[in-house]
Copies of this chain bind each other. A is one copy, B any other.
Amino acid sequence: MKKVLIVEASARAQGLVEGRSGSLSRFLSDRFSSRWRHLNNEDIFIYRDVGAMPPQFMSHKWIAAAFTSEESRSAEQRALLCLSDQLIAEVAQADLILIATPMYNYGMPASLKAWFDQVIRVNKTFSFDLARGDFPLQPLLSGKTLVLLTSSGEFGFEPGGLRESMNHLGPHVRTLSHYLGVEEFHEIGIEYQEFGDDRHRASIDLARQAVDELVEQLSRGPVHLHADVFFTPGEASAALAGKP
């Protein structure tokens, strides 16, 4: 039995899934979770819809509270961190984190960034120690798999693609996922939404197939043995140290 955290970030409701007004990232997320449930019917799902209910923004007081030691926090400070505590608890217990999000203006929706800003927190999801030299941050969680399902209006955001350098969604989420204890990362996306053409329809079909295949692959056994590993903590540290 595994725990699956589903974070959905689209401002759009589902509606017509393949029409202009529906959320395609929610469509992929639904596809993933219904297939997953079919193959792993004892698993537990946690839903966190940050598109419909965005977390609060950072504030001066929030930052001060997060940097105050747990014993020294006032009642007001504990209350300020309450949502963050809850969101982190959801991440901490998840074996698999599914993030479904549209690309807005070449990056994540502000609501998803607000979620990351609440869950990446010192002494909760990462530790900070200057004795580690120039790399003082280390994740406190480990062993998680993250599946990122995206939709974008344009195309060519993949490595080597026409718009690779404009892509601040997937690469950003991948960078941040390290601090949530993610050791396996998968990304599937629908492209060409603004074009509404055959390429878009083909992209939907391909993404749906890729989701089905990924669910089967991840369901075969322990998540970490059967997935494409994009980075391990060791590789990430090597990358940080400038090694290939």
Known: A21-B64, A175-B168, A195-B130. A11 touches B108 (CB 8 A): no
Interface window among A53-61, A73-81, A91-99: A53-61
A194 interface residue per 8 A CB criterion: yes
B residues within 8 A CB of A113?
A: 104-105, 107-110, 113
Q: How far is the CA of A122 from the CA of B107 in the complex (A)?
A: 17
A1 interface residue per 8 A CB criterion: no
**Cross-chain contact B107 with A110 (CB below 8 angstroms):** no
Q: Specify how many copies of this chain sit in the oligomer.
A: 2
Question: Binary interface profile of A, 111-155, with partner B (CB < 8 Å = 1, else 0)?
Answer: 101101100100000001010001011000000000000000011
A89 interface residue per 8 A CB criterion: no
Chain A's interface size range is 35 or more
25 contacts between A and B (CB under 8 A): A11-B60, A11-B62, A12-B63, A13-B60, A58-B104, A58-B109, A105-B113, A105-B120, A106-B172, A106-B175, A107-B107, A107-B108, A107-B172, A108-B113, A110-B110, A110-B113, A110-B117, A130-B195, A134-B162, A136-B194, A162-B240, A163-B240, A165-B171, A168-B171, A172-B172
A residues lining the B interface (CB < 8 Å): 11-13, 21, 54, 57-60, 62-64, 104-111, 113-114, 116-117, 120, 128, 130, 134, 136-137, 154-155, 162-163, 165-166, 168, 171-172, 175-176, 179, 194-195, 239-242
